Amino acid sequence: MLGFPRQRLRRLRKTQVVRDLVAETTLSIKKFVYPLFISQEVTSPKEIAAMPGIYQLPLSVVAKEAKKIYQLGIPAVLLFGIPGKKDAVGTQAYAQTGIIQKAIKKIKKEVPELLVITDVCLCEYTDHGHCGVLDRNGYVKNDESLVLLAKMALSHVEAGADIVAPSDMMDGRVGAIRTILDKNKYENTPIMAYSAKYASGFYGPFREAAQSTPKFGDRRSYQMDPRNVQEALREVAADIEEGADMIMVKPALSYLDVITQVKQHFNLPLVAYNVSGEYSMIKAAAQKGWIDEERIVMEVLTSIQRAGADIIISYFAPQLALWLQNKK
Ligand code: PBG
């Protein structure tokens, strides 16, 4: 026997308008952040081989690019820098004349309304490619690295950054950054912490983009083990206690369960990073004609939001903006 309100589920799926009306998840470009790679090593935009459509940009085009992004309705960019010179302690990461410090000023002058978020991590600036400074055995020294990361964050904020996003995964970095910002009267600058950042193969294309592959070893002694989820909750709790204003899970797709659990346990704005490998896989399959790119991207981004992300960092943001506009 069929229950009484027969076919209710189907009635709510009948037409597009009804489906939209009852939809539980609606993508908005206002919730997206677009990463930009700014390089001192190029003089014109250089496409990243493993990330079709994504470029390393010279400083000279950054303001124009920022304006385009803003006009697409994307509210924020996340900046990564590739310096001209690297050394053991990542000096260019916190130099006032560093690539990111200069880029922030250019963007803020051209489009002050665009939120500028900066990645705070030493791996693009150290000659060994690790996210902190090393001891004699090549092991990352946590507390020594904190001092440099805090200096780096402060220099970004002094240059005009709206939000800083530490991605290095050292213990105590959120607290160290909060302390130095407060001391310098930047109490109102939020910290977006990459709290649950897994040691992931999905960062492969990024490392080509940011030229930040470690020269030896890997990042497993400071990034998280993909087998763990309780550990993610501990990482998030620690960051919140130290003063994080937003928390992040990264990567997104293989970690949707982590996003959901973090969302259930904590009530700060939750960010998910739809990382480079997740982008490249879709691009590659789409270029081969194996999948429908727009359909897959919509499905993937929707799944990240449905899992519990409030904010999504994605290389697809400009395309998404156009797709969403055409839907209207
Ligand atoms: C570290 C950093 C990484 C990414 C963002 N910040 C790479 C890493 O930890 O090796 C990866 C982002 C992506 O893959 O899109 N500065």
pLDDT digit string (tens) for 229-255? 999 999 999 999 999 999 999 999 999
Which atom of ligand 1 is nearest to 197's Cα? Answer: 9
123 lines ligand 1 (CB under 6 A): yes
pLDDT above 80 for 54: yes
Q: Which residue is catalytic, options 197, 263, 283, 328? A: 197
* Burial (Cβ within 10 Å: 0-12, 13-18, ≥19) of residue 255: buried
Q: DSSP per residue over 26-60, as a string?
A: ---GGGEEEEEEEESS-SS-EEETTEEEEEEE-HH
pLDDT above 90 for 214: no
- Euclidean distance between CA atoms 50 and 276, whole angstroms: 9
Mean pLDDT of 276-289: 98
pLDDT above 80 for 21: yes
- Euclidean distance between CA atoms 225 and 200, whole angstroms: 8
Q: Quote the percentage of the chain above a pLDDT of 90.
A: 83
Q: Which of 34, 75, 35, 91 minimizes the C-alpha distance to 209?
A: 35
Could you tell me the pLDDT band of residue 219, with boundaries at 50, 70 and 90?
confident
The residue contributing the CA closest to ligand 1 atom 11 is 203
State if pTM tops 0.75. Answer: yes
141 is annotated as an active-site residue = no
Beta strands in the chain (DSSP E): 32-39, 46-48, 51-57, 76-82, 115-120, 163-166, 192-197, 246-250, 270-274, 311-314
Mean pLDDT, the chain, integer: 94
Mean pLDDT of 93-119: 97
294-318 pLDDT, tens digit each? 999 999 999 999 999 999 999 999 9
Q: What is the pLDDT of residue 328?
A: 54
Residue 21 CA to ligand 1 centre (angstroms): 37
pLDDT above 70 for 86: yes
31 is annotated as an active-site residue = no
Asked if residues 258 and 188 have their Cβ atoms less than 8 Å apart, the reply is no
pLDDT above 60 for 1: no
The residue contributing the CA closest to ligand 1 atom 16 is 121
Q: What is the pLDDT of residue 260?
A: 98
46 lines ligand 1 (CB under 6 A): no
Mean pLDDT of 152-178: 95
Other C-beta atoms closer than 10 Å to the C-beta of 108 total 18
Q: Which residue is catalytic, options 86, 102, 151, 250? A: 250
Q: What is the pLDDT of residue 138?
A: 85
Could you tell me the pLDDT band of residue 291, with boundaries at 50, 70 and 90?
very high
Q: What is the pLDDT of residue 170?
A: 83
Q: What is the bridge-based pairing of β-strands 46-48 and 51-57?
A: antiparallel
Query: In angstroms, how far is CA 255 from the centroid of its own chain?
Result: 15
The residue contributing the CA closest to ligand 1 atom 2 is 167
Domains of the chain with CATH codes: 26-326 (3.20.20.70)
pLDDT above 70 for 265: yes
Which atom of ligand 1 is nearest to 212's Cα? Answer: 10
119 lines ligand 1 (CB under 6 A): yes
203 lines ligand 1 (CB under 6 A): yes
pLDDT above 70 for 89: yes
- Euclidean distance between CA atoms 86 and 72, whole angstroms: 34
Best probe residue, ligand 1, of 212, 221, 278, 304 (max atoms within 8 Å of C-beta): 212
